Amino acid sequence: MEKVDLAQKFSLFTEHWSPRVVGELNDSYIKLAKLKGEFVWHHHDGEDEMFLVVKGRLVIRFRDGDVDLGPGELIVIPRGVEHMPVAEEEAQVMLIEPKTTLNTGNVTNERTVAELKRI
């Protein structure tokens, strides 16, 4: 068993919207991602999604309003709920989600990460 130093792991990559796996929990991955700018409107048919902000600020847009998150705050988005993450400045987030979760959910485009990297 090894501890995970989040700051050290975040220092290993610079790409935005490209999650990295730092651990496994039962049938889920623990992922780190750097986010900047707008993502895409999407939803996940079969999985809930959790965003925990480690550093920076993140806005999750919903069709009926926005939720603003700062360091130490998290949100769980239930399956099927359409959303779009937005980070005006770089945000560092942790995600815990089933191994089958595709980052773009029901959308496939240039931001889809089908093969996750481990760090």
* Lowest-confidence region among 25-29, 49-53, 80-84, 103-107: 103-107
Contact assessment for residue 67 and residue 75, using Cβ atoms and an 8 Å cutoff: yes
In a domain, 31, yes or no: yes
In a domain, 32, yes or no: yes
Report the Cα–Cα distance between both ends of the chain, in Å, rounded.
15
In a domain, 28, yes or no: yes
In a domain, 116, yes or no: no
Dihedral sign from CA coordinates of 15, 75, 47, 61: negative
Helices (H), the chain: 6-10
Q: How confident is the model at residue 113 (pLDDT cuts 50, 70, 90)?
A: low
| Nearest Cα to Cα of residue 43 among 69, 80, 7 | 80
CATH value at residue 43: 2.60.120.10
| Nearest Cα to Cα of residue 26 among 118, 99, 117, 81 | 99
- Does residue 104 register a pLDDT over 80? no
- Does residue 103 register a pLDDT over 80? no
Whole-structure pTM value: 0.89
| Nearest Cα to Cα of residue 39 among 117, 115, 100, 107 | 107
Distance CA 88, CA 101 (A): 25
In a domain, 109, yes or no: no
Residue 84 is predicted with a pLDDT of 96
Residue 101 is predicted with a pLDDT of 79
For residue 35, the enclosing domain spans 6-104
In a domain, 17, yes or no: yes
Residue 116 is predicted with a pLDDT of 75
Number of domains the chain contains: 1
- Does residue 110 register a pLDDT over 80? no
Q: Characterize the bridge pairing of strands 20-25 and 117-118.
A: parallel
For the stretch 72-100, pLDDT in tens is 999 999 999 999 999 999 999 999 988 88
Contact assessment for residue 34 and residue 90, using Cβ atoms and an 8 Å cutoff: yes
In a domain, 118, yes or no: no
In a domain, 52, yes or no: yes
